[in-house]
A = this chain, B = another copy of it.
Amino acid sequence: MTFDPHAGRHRMPVVFGPSAGPRQGPDGRTFDMSRAPRTSAAISFLTERSRLEALLPPGCELDGPPVVTVEHTMLRELEWLAGRGYNLLGVRFPVRYQGREETARGPFLSVLWENRPEPIITGREELGYAKLYCELPEPRILRGAHCYAASWDGHEFLRMEIDGLDEATPPPAPAADGVLHYRYLPAISGVAPSVSEMVISPSGGSPMRHRSFRRGTGRLAFVRSTWEQLPTMYHIVNALADLPILDITGASIAETVGAKDLSDQRVLR
């Protein structure tokens, strides 16, 4: 058997040797992500504090007003996918984490849908991102309105739209320690976890720069769904559909270039 766990990053199946992925190329070197283009459309809304608190992971409290941000992102020209891209849809809200030894502030990424299985697998296992699969088509762009949808097996469970776009100044980088995630991997027994820990994607270190930034008017709705429609994630979509949208606090579309490979991901103590 030739499996050497010190020979580089491994993912199942490991008996075939190290796996190339976002943080490891075929030759063991890392990838250049400094020119990868990204288009992100984000809508933020104020919701009820108590409803949102029900979605906090252990050790976390809301950090400021209960504002949820839903962001649709298109990544392109990714070296680790040999030039391919994929789309993402994330839901986050600001939290403060108090661990045994340290404290961290930043958006908690409660769920992140992606339309390609490979980054889902690497992201869940190597980073602890709460990634799931869904269909995320390119937006329809009709007379200035950008229309986004998320669906699974033909069932649309999110619609969001931004129009009235005008050039604006990109916001400064948020004063956050990083993006927070709750990494959880079950044990074979099915009850107690193999892994349960808060992890952070630290702020800083990214070569990201804006190519354009526009603000507009946003609308969004999660669609209440049945078990038959979404048999493995109706509970997630319905919890999000149950968050009342008290006020839309922002809507923007950003075109940026450059990212980092997240190899600085670390467990919060």
Closest to A12 in B: B130
Query: In the complex, which of the residues B2, B58, B151, B194 contacts A195, with contact meaning CB atoms closer than 8 Å?
Result: B194
Within 8 A of B (CB), among A67-93: 76-77, 79-85
CA distance A90 to B39 in the complex (A): 29
Query: Shortest distance in angstroms between A31's beta carbon and chain B's nearest beta carbon?
Result: 10
CA distance A107 to B69 in the complex (A): 47
CA distance A147 to B132 in the complex (A): 25
Query: Shortest distance in angstroms between A1's beta carbon and chain B's nearest beta carbon?
Result: 4
A186 part of interface (Cβ distance < 8 Å)? yes
Task: List, in ascending order, chain B residues with CB within 8 A of A58's CB.
Answer: 1, 3
CA distance A141 to B83 in the complex (A): 4
**Are A15 and B156 interface neighbours, CB within 8 A?**
no
Q: Spot the interface stretch: A19-27, A41-49, A213-221, A247-255.
A: A19-27
CA distance A57 to B21 in the complex (A): 21
Query: In the complex, which of the residues B26, B79, B140, B183 contacts A84, with contact meaning CB atoms closer than 8 Å?
Result: B140
**Are A239 and B142 interface neighbours, CB within 8 A?**
no
| Interface size, chain A (Cβ < 8 Å) | 99
CA distance A193 to B191 in the complex (A): 20
Query: Shortest distance in angstroms between A153's beta carbon and chain B's nearest beta carbon?
Result: 7
CA distance A197 to B195 in the complex (A): 14
Query: Shortest distance in angstroms between A146's beta carbon and chain B's nearest beta carbon?
Result: 8
A60 part of interface (Cβ distance < 8 Å)? yes
CA distance A143 to B35 in the complex (A): 9
**Are B188 and A194 interface neighbours, CB within 8 A?**
no
**Are A121 and B124 interface neighbours, CB within 8 A?**
yes
**Are A126 and B190 interface neighbours, CB within 8 A?**
yes
